[in-house]
Structure 1
């Protein structure tokens, strides 16, 4: 089982390559959708990593994959500039989801 990266940033791709993860750098929505389709066809890909900007380009399609498909596991990561959602987005997510402030 392989890990595949779809990134909008060359630096993120280079860092992932150091960890043995292959991927592509894309900037256009159509190219992202085509790469997603290819990743779904490749049975050897078990984890698909996308950067936040890639998620923004194809949010509806990626969320559909996350919710309806068993494979691959789709993981969203920030790029080299850090998270665009703010530093406390995980605690806000927990609070909004279950109503507990941590």
Structure 2
């Protein structure tokens, strides 16, 4: 299973790509909705990370995914919305699924 990021923030995309996370960079809500549907249909998507703006743009689609339980979806902060330098992506993953990734 792969970890994938959906974001409109270039900085988040670059940072997580450097960590080996597949990223999808979108610029509009319509692009985000299409990307969510595509990511949802990919069998290898195990954890979908989204930035705050995606919560607003894709609320309906995200609610359906969360109800279904696959893939697991969790929000991560970005430089614009709630970034705290003391937090790490592994902390967010641990909070989401209960497993520490080192």
Provide the TM-score with structure 2 as the length reference.
Answer: 0.75
Q: Which structure has the greater CA radius of gyration? A: 1
Where does residue 42 of structure 1 map in the other structure?
42
Provide the TM-score with structure 1 as the length reference.
Answer: 0.75
Instruction: Specify the SS of the correspondent of 2:80.
Output: coil
Instruction: Specify the SS of the correspondent of 1:39.
Output: helix
Using the alignment, how far apart are the partners of 2:37 and 2:81 within structure 1? Answer: 27
Instruction: Specify the SS of the correspondent of 1:20.
Output: coil
1:73 aligns with 2:72: yes
Instruction: Specify the SS of the correspondent of 1:13.
Output: helix
Per-residue CA deviations over 1:39-81 (Å, capped at 9, x if unaligned) read 1110001000110011111112212211x21210001111113
Moved segments of 4+, more than 2 Å:
none
CA positional deviation for 1:18: 1.4
Using the alignment, how far apart are the partners of 1:37 and 1:10 within structure 2? Answer: 21
